[in-house]
């Protein structure tokens, strides 16, 4: 999280944002050292909590979860903007080991997802593991003791024989690099740090960005604001959203017969798997998906000029595909205007576009995404011989099976490099990462290991294959997106079916690792 955006979230106080590296290296003279846990988890979002549940189920209970905020929920705690919802059906965007028969809609809103996460914490009694308000500012492997040491910005030191990085890939809200950002005197809101106290009624409001967050915010803001101006840099492919309320009979069926919900989950999984053929690779199904996208635009937007402005000129799937039934209608409301002139700069009053027009606003909403460009961690991570992960990943993040990095023993990433799905639920991928972590922790315990460290060559071979496969995907077909670094390196997405990903995570192959016995 950037310091600029850390102050407010849903009216709750948040832990202070990370400090600079200099702080991270301060002398731990007055440090409070906590006892060493078996597993140290960073982040109490879906991944961290899911890992704790599965570890607990396997008898590993010596767990500490460090959470920088005062509440669980990660991205679903932070993203509470109006209209925030998941664009994957809830029956699939939930854990298979914690199904919820009571989802109110096919695509639930963020509050309901947050309530689901809080419900899991209660159901599995996870609060005992969580230390709130612990903002990690440095992580270091201590080879002598064979432990990871996480230092918080308050100087506390938590250690673990193993560590799980579950801080989330989209936790650093990003204000765009537009000149004059600091000159603007009106109100600024980032989509991921919503200001619930701001009253939009009667106000002239701008939204910068037309990505996944923006297209959910715009239909809600247009109902409130006196005038809404949307600044689009690149139009997105927008598909219809099959969203409907769950009837009561359906909920009681799921409650009485959990197998029926598992069957629906499986069906949804397979439908999404088939979408890989359109989204990931350029195939006849890609053409079909583009036709559906064009049809959706044509049926919802009658004005030819507006249609031209909204028509993407890149292959579908290259950037994230959006789903919405109310975004195009919102843009056509009398109090809404789409601007496609590039932004030149922000002025004290508003936004100046390159043709020299100044647009004045009471408030600018930045739906401009997250800082994932360096694919690093939000704090320094030091491995064997003090090597820094930021330097190891200087030319793009790489890991073995997205989960381990050579030279960083006993460290496990969730949502690590090249684990991103473009077509299926992120939680499906996450479940297989979690099970891999549980296997690894159990192996470290049962084999009496000090360190489990992936072999460099194994990691290099894995990544050569991943990058060769990525070169043939739609993500690498020429558009710009947050999936790619500014040099065009894709350290984000997994170039295959979710089933392929899950299969490779099924077994911990010990010969792929250096195994160092405890003394
Ligand atoms: O961010 P984005 P997001 N000048 O990076 C524009 C997840 N998510 O918050 O496309 C002008 O997608 C930028 O323009 P361009 C999901 O994984 C999930 O919307 O780069 N415009 C783009 O339009 C998603 O992919 C849900 O040309 C600028 C927008 O800002 C991820 O979060 C809901 C600009 C940023 O779009 C990020 O989505 C919401 C500039 N200088 C989010 N800089 C679900 O439903 C950026 N933009 C699960």
Q: pLDDT higher for 346 or 378?
A: 346
Q: Please tell me the distance from the alpha carbon of residue 121 to that of residue 260, in angstroms, as a whole number.
A: 25
Substitution site in 233, 313, 484 for ligand 1 pocket (most atoms within 8 Å of beta carbon) = 233
Q: Which ligand 1 atom minimizes the distance to the CA of 420?
A: 17
> Which of the four pLDDT bands, split at 50, 70 and 90, describes residue 374?
low
Residue environment code for 29-51, b if the CB has 16+ CB neighbours within 10 A, otherwise e: eeeeebebbbbbbbbbbbbbbbb
Task: Specify the residue with its C-alpha closest to ligand 1, atom 15.
Answer: 234
Q: Which CATH architecture has domain 187-237+281-366?
A: 3-Layer(bba) Sandwich (3.50)
Is the minimum distance from the CB of 492 to ligand 1 under 6 angstroms? Answer: no
Q: pLDDT higher for 501 or 5?
A: 501
Pairing of strands 238-239, 322-323: parallel
Task: Specify the residue with its C-alpha closest to ligand 1, atom 40.
Answer: 176
Is the minimum distance from the CB of 113 to ligand 1 under 6 angstroms? Answer: no
Same fold, 32-172+372-517 and 187-237+281-366: yes
CA distances from 192 to 87, 185, 371, 394 (A): 16, 21, 12, 27
Distance (angstroms) between ligand 1 centre and the Cα of 177 equals 14
Q: Please tell me the distance from the alpha carbon of residue 133 to that of residue 14, in angstroms, as a whole number.
A: 8
Task: Specify the residue with its C-alpha closest to ligand 1, atom 5.
Answer: 369
What pLDDT score does 131 carry? 98
What pLDDT score does 370 carry? 84
Protein fold of 32-172+372-517: FAD/NAD(P)-binding domain (3.50.50)
Distance (angstroms) between ligand 1 centre and the Cα of 366 equals 9
The H-assigned helical ranges of 45-176 are 46-57, 75-78, 110-123
If you search the block for the tokens 């401009």, which residue do you land on? 368
Is the minimum distance from the CB of 332 to ligand 1 under 6 angstroms? Answer: no
Task: Specify the residue with its C-alpha closest to ligand 1, atom 46.
Answer: 368
* Rg of the chain on CA atoms, in Å: 23
User: Structural domain boundaries of the chain?
Assistant: 32-172+372-517, 187-237+281-366
Distance between first and last Cα of the chain = 39
> Which of the four pLDDT bands, split at 50, 70 and 90, describes residue 11?
very low
Distance (angstroms) between ligand 1 centre and the Cα of 213 equals 6
What pLDDT score does 15 carry? 35
Is the minimum distance from the CB of 367 to ligand 1 under 6 angstroms? Answer: yes
pTM of the entire predicted model: 0.91
> Which of the four pLDDT bands, split at 50, 70 and 90, describes residue 85?
very high
Distance (angstroms) between ligand 1 centre and the Cα of 370 equals 7
Give pLDDT tens digits for 167-197. Answer: 988 777 888 989 999 999 999 999 999 999 9
Is the minimum distance from the CB of 86 to ligand 1 under 6 angstroms? Answer: yes
Q: Please tell me the distance from the alpha carbon of residue 453 to that of residue 305, in angstroms, as a whole number.
A: 57
If you search the block for the tokens 């499906």, which residue do you land on? 428
CA dihedral 311, 314, 317, 323 (to 10 degrees): -10
CA distances from 223 to 71, 89, 120, 219, 228 (A): 30, 26, 34, 7, 9
For the segment 188-215, the average pLDDT, to the nearest whole number, is 97
């Amino acid at each position: 999280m950037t310091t600029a955006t850390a102050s407010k979230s849903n009216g709750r106080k948040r832990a202070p944002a990370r400090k600079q590296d200099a702080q991270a290296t301060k002398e731990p003279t007055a440090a409070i050292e906590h006892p060493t846990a078996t597993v140290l988890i960073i982040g109490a979002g879906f991944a961290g909590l899911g890992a704790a549940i599965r570890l607990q189920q396997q008898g590993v209970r010596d767990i500490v979860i460090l959470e920088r905020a005062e509440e669980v929920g990660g991205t679903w705690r932070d993203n509470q903007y109006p209209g925030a919802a998941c664009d994957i059906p809830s029956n699939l965007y939930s854990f298979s080991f914690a199904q919820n028969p009571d989802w109110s809609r096919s695509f639930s809103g963020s509050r309901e997802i947050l309530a689901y996460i809080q419900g899991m914490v209660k159901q599995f009694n996870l609060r005992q593991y969580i230390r709130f308000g612990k903002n990690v500012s440095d992580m270091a492997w201590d080879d002598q003791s064979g432990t990871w040491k996480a230092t918080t910005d308050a100087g506390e030191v938590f250690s673990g024989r193993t560590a799980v990085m579950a801080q989330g890939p989209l936790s650093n809200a990003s204000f765009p690099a537009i000149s004059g950002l600091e000159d603007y005197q009106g109100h600024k809101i980032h989509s991921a740090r919503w200001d619930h106290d701001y009253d939009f009624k009667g106000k002239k409001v701008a939204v910068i960005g037309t990505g996944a967050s923006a297209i959910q915010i715009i239909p809600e803001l247009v109902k409130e604001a006196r005038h809404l101006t949307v600044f689009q840099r690149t139009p997105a492919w927008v598909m219809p959203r099959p969203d409907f309320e769950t009837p009561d009979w359906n909920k009681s069926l799921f409650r009485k017969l959990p197998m029926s919900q598992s069957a629906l989950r499986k069906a949804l999984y397979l439908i999404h798997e088939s979408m890989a053929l359109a989204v990931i690779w350029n195939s006849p199904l890609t053409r079909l998906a583009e036709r559906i996208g064009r049809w959706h635009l044509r049926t919802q937007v009658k004005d030819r000029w507006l249609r031209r402005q909204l028509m993407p000129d890149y292959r579908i799937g290259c950037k994230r595909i959006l789903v919405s039934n109310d975004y195009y209608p919102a843009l056509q409301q009398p109090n809404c205007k789409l601007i496609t002139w590039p932004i030149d700069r922000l002025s004290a009053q508003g936004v100046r576009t390159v043709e020299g027009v100044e647009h004045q606003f009471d408030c600018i909403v930045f739906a401009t995404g997250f800082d994932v460009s360096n694919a690093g961690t939000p704090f320094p991570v030091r491995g064997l011989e003090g090597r820094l992960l930021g330097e190891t990943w200087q030319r793009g993040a790489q890991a073995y099976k997205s989960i381990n990095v050579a030279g960083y023993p006993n460290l496990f990433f969730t949502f690590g490099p090249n684990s991103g799905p473009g077509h299926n639920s992120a939680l499906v991928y996450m479940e297989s990462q979690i099970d891999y972590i549980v296997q690894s922790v159990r192996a470290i315990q049962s084999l009496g290991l000090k360190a489990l460290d992936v072999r460099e060559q194994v990691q290099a071979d894995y990544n050569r294959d991943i990058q060769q496969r990525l070169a043939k995907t739609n993500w690498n077909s020429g558009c710009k997106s947050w999936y790619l670094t500014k040099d065009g390196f894709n350290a984000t997405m997994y170039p295959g079916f979710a089933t392929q990903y899950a299969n490779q995570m099924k077994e911990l192959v010990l010969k792929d690792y250096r195994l160092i016995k405890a003394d």
